[in-house]
Amino acid sequence: MAAKPGAALRELALVYIALVTRMTRATVLEVLHEDYIRTARAKGLGVLPVLGHALRNAAIPIATTVGVGVALLIGGVVVTETVYAIPGVGRLVIDSVQRHDYPVIQSVLLLSAGVYVLINLLIDLSYRLFDPRIQY
């Protein structure tokens, strides 16, 4: 009996949730030792506003990690759909490889590459939202 699709998605996502959580924690702890955070605390800002400033300044490495995670998810979907017998794009690729259906393989790979490039472009453009000093 095949597993439910939700179980496969949860399994795929758990690894990346842990990765993003660790990256967030490490980056925020690093930012909390900066001079401007000490200055904000000395001026009497509360914990939440200071944490908001820290999170905004720690967002660039976190966004980069999310972009890398999306790339790994695109690659991992083939294995996950094959293991759990879930019909989807990954399963389509496996079936097309077995049937030597080259146009379908090329189409899926081109689509996957396009989605990957688009996601990385959006993440790179989002850096400007996190840090207005970044110029393109």
Residue with tokens 């146009």: 103
The tens-digit pLDDT sequence of the chain (136 residues) is 455 656 666 777 787 888 899 999 999 999 999 999 999 999 999 999 999 888 988 999 999 998 888 877 877 777 777 777 778 888 888 889 999 999 999 999 899 889 889 999 999 999 988 888 888 7
Query: What is the CB neighbour count within 10 angstroms for residue 108?
Result: 16
Instruction: Report if residue 51 sits inside a domain.
Output: yes
Euclidean distance between CA atoms 90 and 82, whole angstroms: 7
Which pLDDT score is estimated for 49? 92
- Establish if 80 belongs to a structural domain: yes
Q: Provide the domain count of the chain.
A: 1
The reply to whether 30 falls in a domain is: yes
Judge contact between 63 and 123, C-beta under 8 A.
yes
Looking at residue 15, what is its pLDDT?
Answer: 79
Question: pLDDT digit string (tens) for 2-14?
Answer: 556 566 667 777 8
pLDDT of residue 9: 64
| 135 within some domain | no
Q: How far apart are CA 120 and CA 48, in angstroms?
A: 30
User: Is 59 part of a structural domain of the chain?
Assistant: yes
pLDDT at 68: 85
Query: What is the domain extent for residue 81?
Result: 5-130
> Is residue 136 assigned to a domain?
no
Residue 28 lies in a domain: yes
